[in-house]
């Protein structure tokens, strides 16, 4: 592969990584830039909503003269066809990839790139994926309409089971019998000091999206549970999936509905992530005792942030390290005057991993707050400008709380009830503001109780 092609691939990867599209993520190993992993988060208001769909992408030596080879890997081991154009075997049928006949002008050109490919795949994940099947424009009978509804129903179920639950269970070590494998990490493991490290290209598979899935799961947990509650009454327990006319020959989505089981597994995943987060603090103390570089680094970052807050005379934020553990921070936010949070006092816990920044902080608003960016369990959805320095995380936490006129984006809202009111009618918005003010008033009462 030419140096020019390598530079272009590198640039395209960085553009997505540094972009603002919350639905796309890409990663590769420096030693093998031609092989890229990509993640597409299923679009809101579709049966793919907030599913984690992974793809492997291999660039040819003559790129961009020829398109890359793209293969879907979220297929339940080759047994689940998620779309008329995304096969169980991983084939992605798109004219720009040369895997499907298209109209003139729809074929690959060197002006296209990695992002345009991912956006094209994402466009297949529509509210009615049945329409991607050739000949759909002639599907007008009542039987066809029945198939459309049945197809949406089973995709919604399998999105939760295969594209959310399964990869999270795998990354968390959750076994089929309900047990959880003990964590393996640089700190807090049961390994001998002389044992070999648990990482390296020849030891651990390249799984760059594990942390992203966990954080997003905490954000979207309530949406997942609402989807289960809405769909469960419409099917019978163990009801078999309806096979579509275009499915067959090992290229289908077969199975049955079992929403009670999905709900049970969702709840257990949430509990396991909570335990993993608690374990970070234990690992963190071990790292501090060993005077590990990450512990020293986080301690220094905390001191610099505190000094900067004093220098700027920022009286809305107080930041302390809890019990001398540099992996557990407590941020007290004092509501800024002339805002809806004016007068409020909110305790916010920042849990940090000994593998920061590869694993990002998990932030919990411990003082109850009715806010579209705060889940009912207190999980805060926020976006730092840079993920590798804690000062950007602290700034983004405050910005997320104070933002009063954000654009509507379902991917950034983690409290469905608050979201519905915030972007509803003028009367709904008044209800939202009243609920927010009540939580602000209660926060003050609790602080001085």
Q: What is the pLDDT of residue 192?
A: 38
Domains held by the chain: number:
2
Question: Would you state the pLDDT for residue 105?
Answer: 63
Any idea which residues carry the catalytic annotation? 93
Bridge partners of 174, per DSSP, are 180
Backbone angles phi, psi at 312, to 5 degrees: -85, 0
* Domain end call among 280, 303, 321: 280
Of 280, 305, 333, which residue sits at a domain end?
Answer: 280
pLDDT for the residue numbered 349: 98
Residues 9 and 78 in one domain: yes
End-to-end CA distance of the chain, in Å?
67
Are 260 and 300 within one domain? no
Same-domain check for residues 316 and 273: no
Position 200 in a domain: no
Would residue 68 count as lying in a domain?
Answer: yes
List Cβ neighbours of 426 (8 Å cut-off, separation of 6 or more): none
* Euclidean distance between CA atoms 292 and 356, whole angstroms: 12
In this structure, is residue 335 part of a structural domain?
A: yes
**Residues 163, 310: one domain?**
no
Cα separation of 216 and 44, whole Å? 13
Q: Are residues 269 and 298 in the same domain?
A: no
69, 60 contact by CB (below 8 A): yes
Residues 6+ apart with CB under 8 A from 186: 197, 198, 287, 292, 354, 355
Q: What are phi and psi of 264, to 5 degrees?
A: -60, -45
Domain-embedded: residue 193: no
Q: Would residue 198 count as lying in a domain?
A: no
Let me know whether 217 and 244 are in one domain: yes
Question: Which residue range is the domain that position 119 belongs to?
Answer: 3-128+139-188+206-280
Residues of the chain short of pLDDT 50, as ranges, are 185, 187-202
Q: Is residue 370 assigned to a domain?
A: yes
Q: What per-residue confidence (pLDDT) applies to 103?
A: 62
CA angle at residue 189 from 184 to 190, to 5 degrees?
120
Model confidence over 65-106: pLDDT tens digits? 999 999 999 999 999 999 999 999 999 999 999 887 766 567
Polymer length in residues for the chain: 449
- Alpha carbons within 13 angstroms on the beta-carbon side of residue 9 total 29
CA separation for the pair 226, 364 (Å, rounded): 21
Assess if residue 195 is contained within a domain.
Answer: no
Look at residue 144 in the predicted model and tell me its pLDDT: 76
Domain endpoint, select from 260, 280, 300: 280
CA 258 to chain centre: 24
**Distance in angstroms (rounded) separating the CA atoms of residues 177 and 30:** 37
Same domain, 334 and 437: yes
pLDDT given at position 304: 97
**In a shared domain, residues 301 and 262:** no
Are residue 61 and residue 177 in the same domain, yes or no? yes
Same domain for 273 and 326: no
Question: The domain spanning residue 244 has which CATH number?
Answer: 3.10.110.10
The Cα–Cα gap between 248 and 218 comes to: 36
Predicted TM-score (pTM) of this structure: 0.92
| Residue pLDDT, tens place only, 291-333 | 999 999 999 999 999 999 999 988 899 999 999 999 999 999 9
Residue 371: strand pairing partners: 374
Q: What string of DSSP letters covers 394-413?
A: HHHHHHHHH--SPPP-GGG-
Inter-residue contact 222 to 266 (CB < 8 Å)? no
The answer for residues whose C-beta is within 8 angstroms of residue 181's C-beta and 6 or more apart is 173, 175
Do 158 and 306 have their domain in common? no
User: Would you say residue 67 lies in a domain?
Assistant: yes
How much is the pLDDT for 17? 93
One domain for residues 310 and 231: no
């Amino acid at each position: 592969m030419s140096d020019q092609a390598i530079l272009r691939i590198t640039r395209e990867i960085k553009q997505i990584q540094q972009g603002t599209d919350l639905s796309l993520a890409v990663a590769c190993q420096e030693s093998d830039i031609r092989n890229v992993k990509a993640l597409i988060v299923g679009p809101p208001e579709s049966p793919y909503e907030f599913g984690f769909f992974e793809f492997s992408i291999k660039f040819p030596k003559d790129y961009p003269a020829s398109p890359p080879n793209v293969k879907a890997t979220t297929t339940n081991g080759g047994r689940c066809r998620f779309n008329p154009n995304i096969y169980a075997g991983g084939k992605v049928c798109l004219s720009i990839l040369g895997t499907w006949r298209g109209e003139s002008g729809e074929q690959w050109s060197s002006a296209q790139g990695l992002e345009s490919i991912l956006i094209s795949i994402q466009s297949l994940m529509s509210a009615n994926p049945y329409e991607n099947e050739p000949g759909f424009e002639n599907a007008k009978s009542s039987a066809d309409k029945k198939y459309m509804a049945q197809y949406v129903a089973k995709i919604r179920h399998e999105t939760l089971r295969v594209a959310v639950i399964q990869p999270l269970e795998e990354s968390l070590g959750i076994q089929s019998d309900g047990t959880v494998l003990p964590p393996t990490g640089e700190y807090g493991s049961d390994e001998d000091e002389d044992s070999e490290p648990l990482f390296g290209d020849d030891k651990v598979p390249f799984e760059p999206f594990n942390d992203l899935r966990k954080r997003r799961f905490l954000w979207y947990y309530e949406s997942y549970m609402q989807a289960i509650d809405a769909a469960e009454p419409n099917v019978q327990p163990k009801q078999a999936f309806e096979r579509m006319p275009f499915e067959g020959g090992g290229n289908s989505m077969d199975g049955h509905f079992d929403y009670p089981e999905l709900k049970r597994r969702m709840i257990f995943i949430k509990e396991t992530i909570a335990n993993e987060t608690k374990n970070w603090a234990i690992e963190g103390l071990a790292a501090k005792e060993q005077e590990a570089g990450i512990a020293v680094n986080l301690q220094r970052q905390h001191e610099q942030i505190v000094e900067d807050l004093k220098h700027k005379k920022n009286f809305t934020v107080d930041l302390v390290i809890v019990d001398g553990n540099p992996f557990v921070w407590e941020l007290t936010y004092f509501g800024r005057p002339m805002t809806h949070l004016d007068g409020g006092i909110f305790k916010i816990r920042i849990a940090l991993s000994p593998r920061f920044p590869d694993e990002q902080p998990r932030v919990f608003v411990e003082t109850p707050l009715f806010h579209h960016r705060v889940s009912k369990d207190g999980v805060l959805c926020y976006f730092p400008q840079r993920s590798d320095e804690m000062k950007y995380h602290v700034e983004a936490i405050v910005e997320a709380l104070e933002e009063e006129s954000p654009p509507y984006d379902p991917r950034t809202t983690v409290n469905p009830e608050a979201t519905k009111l915030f972007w509803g009618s003028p009367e709904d918005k008044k209800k939202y503001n009243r609920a927010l003010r009540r939580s602000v008033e209660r926060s003050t009462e609790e602080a001085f109780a």
